[in-house]
Structure 1
Amino acid sequence: MDDKADYLGHRKRLRNRFQKGGGDGLQDYELLELLLTYAIPRKDVKPYAKALIKRFGSLTGVLDASQKDLEEVAKIGPISSTLVRLVKEMCAAYLAEKIKGREVLSSPQAVLDFARMKLAGLPHEAFMVIFLDSKNRVLEHKIMQEGTVDRAVIYPRRIVEEALSCHAAGIIFVHNHPSGDAQPSPEDKQLTRSLMEAARTIDLRVLDHLIVGKEGYCSFAESRMLPGA
C-alpha cells in the first residue's frame, strides 16, 4: 500500500511540475514517464521510461522506434506503444501544418524540421516531394515512394503528374538515409539530375533536394550541388 501511495504521489508531483513549468523543467525520461502514466495506470512507470531511453539512445530514438520494437524490445504493451507513436505522428502533423501556405525561402528551418520529423527516423528509405506555388508557398506534400533499407525506386513521371495535378510551380525533394549519414551518394546526385530534367519539361522549378538522417541533413541548394543552379 505504501509503495502504491509513493508512486501515485510521484505521478502527481511530476504532473504538477509539468503544469507549472512545461517541459523545460523535466528531463527527457521524465517527459516520457509522464506520457506513460496515461497508458499504464497502476504501475511505477519510471523504470519503463528509463529503459526506453537507454535502449533507443534518446527521446528522439524512442519516438522514431517502430511500434513492434517498442513492444518486443522494450516490453511495453500495445496501448503504450500506440500512445508513443501517436505523439510522433501528431508532431509531424503539427510541423506540416506550420509550413502549409508558408513561403519556404523565408522559413527554411520549418521545412527542415518537418522533413526530419517525417522521414529521418524511418528504418527504410522514403522519398517525399513538397509542392509549391508560384510564390514558393507550400501547397502540399506527398511521400511518392517507400523502399528498402538502402533504396527507394523513384519514377520521375509520377512526380511530374502529381505536380500538374496540384498546379505546382516549384518542388522540393526530400529523402532519408536510414544509416544516419546524410551525405549524398553518387546515385543521389544522378537521381537529382534525372528529376530536374523531368521537371524542366513542364517548367517546374526545383528549389532543393534535402537528405535527412539521424546524424544531420544535407541540402543540395546550400551545398551548391543542384545541377544548373
Structure 2
Amino acid sequence: MRERHSRDMPRERLLETGPGTLSDTELIALFLGCGLPGQNVFELAHSLLARFGSLRAMLDATPADFKGLRGIGPAKTAVLLAVVEMARRALAEQARERPLVDSSAAVEAYVRLLIGSRPYEVFLCLFLDARHRLIDSEESSRGTITRMAVYPREIVRRALATNAAALIVAHNHPSGAATPSASDRQLTRVLKDTLALIDVRLVDHLVVGRSAVFSFANEGWL
C-alpha cells in the first residue's frame, strides 16, 4: 500500500523530495493532469512516451504530431508544447546573461534541445557579441536525413546584420552518431576562414548526436 501511495502522488513527492525523484512518465502525468475512462493518467503518459520513443523526441514534436493521439486533445497538446518552449527560453536567457564560452554545458543543452531530436539535418547559428553572450540563434539550413546544403555567404550576411563578433555553429546527425564527417571538417575550415575576413571569430562547431555532442574546439580542430 505504501508503494502504491507513493506512485499515485507524484505531485506531493515532487514537493517533498524534488523533481529529480520522479520518472519521465510521472513528470508527463503531472502535465497531462488526468487520464481517460479505463486508462489512468500514468498509463496515458506511458503510452505517449512509448509513441515518441523518448522524452526528448516528444518535447521536440509539433502540434501535428499530437493530432489523432487518443487522450491528447488541444489543451494537453498546448501544455506539452508550452513546457519545451519555456525550457528553450530559459536556456536562451542563460546564454544571453553569461559568456557562452564559460558555459559549454549550457550551450550543449541549448543546441540539443533545439535540434537534437530532429528527424532531418539542421544547421544552427548562435550569433554572439564581443563578450560571447548570445545575440540570436537561427536555423540557417535544413536538409534531409543524410544531406544538407550550408551557404557560408548567407551566414556571413547574417553575422553582419546581427553585428556579431563571434559565432558558434551546430548541426545534428539524425543517425544518432556525433562523429563529424570529412565534409563537416571541410565546412568548418571554410566557415572559419570566411568569417575571419569580416573579423568574426568561429568559436566552435558542435555536432549533435542522439546521446553526445562533439565539439571541434574541445578537440583542438579550430
Which range, TM-score by smaller chain? 0.7 to 0.9
2:77 aligned with 1:81, yes or no? Answer: yes
Match for 2:182 among 171, 174, 186? 186
Report the residue type matching 1:82 in the other structure: A
Q: Return the alpha-carbon distance in structure 1 between the equivalents of residues 147 and 70 of structure 2.
A: 28
Cα shift readout 1:28-67 (whole Å, capped 9, x = no counterpart) = 21111111116x6876211111122333343233323444
Report the residue type matching 2:203 in the other structure: L
Name stretches of at least 5 consecutive residues in structure 2 with no aligned partner. Answer: none
**3-state DSSP of counterpart to 2:9:** helix
Moved over 6 A (4+): 9-12
Q: Return the alpha-carbon distance in structure 1 between the equivalents of residues 213 and 199 of structure 2.
A: 27
**Number of aligned pairs?**
217
Counterpart for residue 103 of structure 1 = 99
Counterpart for residue 21 of structure 2 = 25
CA contact (8 A) 1:33 1:46 kept: yes
CA contact (8 A) 1:103 1:136 kept: yes
Counterpart for residue 208 of structure 1 = 204
Deviation at 1:213, TM superposition (A): 1.9
Report the residue type matching 1:97 in the other structure: E
CA contact (8 A) 1:208 1:221 kept: yes
Q: Return the alpha-carbon distance in structure 2 between the equivalents of residues 195 and 151 of structure 1.
A: 18
Name stretches of at least 5 consecutive residues in structure 1 with no aligned partner. Answer: 1-8
CA contact (8 A) 1:101 1:139 kept: no
**3-state DSSP of counterpart to 1:100:** helix
**3-state DSSP of counterpart to 2:18:** helix
Counterpart for residue 129 of structure 2 = 133
Counterpart for residue 111 of structure 2 = 115
Report the residue type matching 1:142 in the other structure: E
**3-state DSSP of counterpart to 2:195:** helix
**3-state DSSP of counterpart to 1:136:** coil
Counterpart for residue 171 of structure 2 = 175
TM-score (norm 1): 0.83
Cα RMSD of the aligned pairs, angstroms, is: 2.5
Q: Return the alpha-carbon distance in structure 2 between the equivalents of residues 72 and 201 of structure 1.
A: 51
Counterpart for residue 15 of structure 1 = 11
Counterpart for residue 3 of structure 1 = none
Among all aligned residue pairs of Structure 1 and Structure 2, give the percentage whose two residues are the same amino acid.
38
Q: Return the alpha-carbon distance in structure 2 between the equivalents of residues 192 and 157 of structure 1.
A: 13
Report the residue type matching 1:131 in the other structure: F
CA contact (8 A) 1:11 1:34 kept: no
Q: Return the alpha-carbon distance in structure 1 between the equivalents of residues 199 and 126 of structure 2.
A: 16
Counterpart for residue 160 of structure 1 = 156
Deviation at 1:25, TM superposition (A): 2.8
